[in-house]
Amino acid sequence: MKDFFSKLLNGMSIGIVVALIPNALLGELLKLLIPHFPFFQNLLDITVYVMSLLPVIIGVMVGVAFKLSPIQTASIGIAAMIGSGAVMKTADGLFTLNGIGTTLNIGITAALAVLFVKVLGDQMREYAILVIPTATILVPGMIGFMLLPYVRGGSGLVGNGVAFLMQLQPVFMGAAIAVVFCVLILSPFSTVGVATVIMLSGIGAGAANLGIVAAGIGLAIASYKANSLGTALAHVLGSPKIQMRNFLMKPKIAFPMMITAAVLGGLAGVLNIQGTPYSAGFGLSGLVGPLNYIKLADGGWTIENIAIMLSTFLILPITLNIGLIYVFSRRLKLLKADDYKLNFD
């Protein structure tokens, strides 16, 4: 079971990075260029479209992780898309893309599909190309489709918990929400989904964003010895969710980041760092968090606001994480570099 979940989570992590990195790297830059170069709107639209392919990419990467045949792998991608909720049918009968889907249900559907094709593949080897794609739609795909409302309801419960934290005093609220989102970004739950369900905004959204910043920068620093520089940077430029497998196997790897998140979240309450439901789930990815802070701050691009932005979104996360990682790894001997090893081969 441990090996099964390890492969499943590793495939999900790779799929998330592949699907989300293009928009994370180019999204905000293109938005600045589009008023002057309208042609770039096409490129921005393509990166958003690629994000909506996340379920298919996750399914394919899970199939690769399990070393399945091409037909089995493609079938898992189809099943994951069916269970994702990333496609919806309008009143006019048209099918439209609906975001990236529900990540947790994508993982559940992919897991069911792996088990199904393994059993079916052994029984129907000679008729695989005829039977496996259709049967995978009918069984694990439709099971995932039927589970979708209930899994979305689970995300809503998490959102209700975050909404309860909003009633706390601003500093304590900011610290608590930042820690919650630091953990959520390392889980199968979608941080953007949770934030939008409750329309998280203001200081709560700013704190949530800083929690993700703490996770991304901290994991980049902690993992660079065990991975390539590009992989380390992917935690910040893409998503810290690529460490999902390692975190769920060893939750202790996030202790330094959670403490950093609490400090930064508290500062969000002190310094009135705000955000939107959209920016709350992104961290430094695409510079969505810091740019939204400047946009919402009184005075906009003032020297004071720029200093606050650089301190809370960059300088403090780096400084705090370096210190805490040193304490947990060198002094307390609780962490080692290999705990953050990612296998993308």
Tokens (6 digits) for 68 = 């399945």
At residue 326, what is the residue type?
Answer: Y
The conformation of residue 36, written as its DSSP 8-state character, comes to T
What number of H helices and E strands is found in the chain?
16, 2
pLDDT of residue 122: 67
Which residues, 6 or more positions from 28, have their beta carbon under 8 angstroms from its beta carbon?
A: 286, 287, 288, 291
pLDDT of residue 161: 80
The conformation of residue 275, written as its DSSP 8-state character, comes to B
Ranges under pLDDT 70 in the chain: 122, 124-125, 344-345
Cβ atoms within 10 Å, residue 96: 11
Q: What angle do CA 237, 288, 238 make, to 5 degrees?
A: 20
Q: What spatial distance separates the first Cα and last Cα of the chain, rounded to whole Å?
A: 22
pLDDT of residue 250: 92
90-113 pLDDT, tens digit per residue, is 778 888 887 788 888 999 999 999
Q: Where are the domains of the chain?
A: 1-153, 166-345
Q: What angle do CA 34, 37, 38 make, to 5 degrees?
A: 65
pTM, 2 dp: 0.83
pLDDT of residue 345: 62
H-run or E-run covering 95: strand 95-97
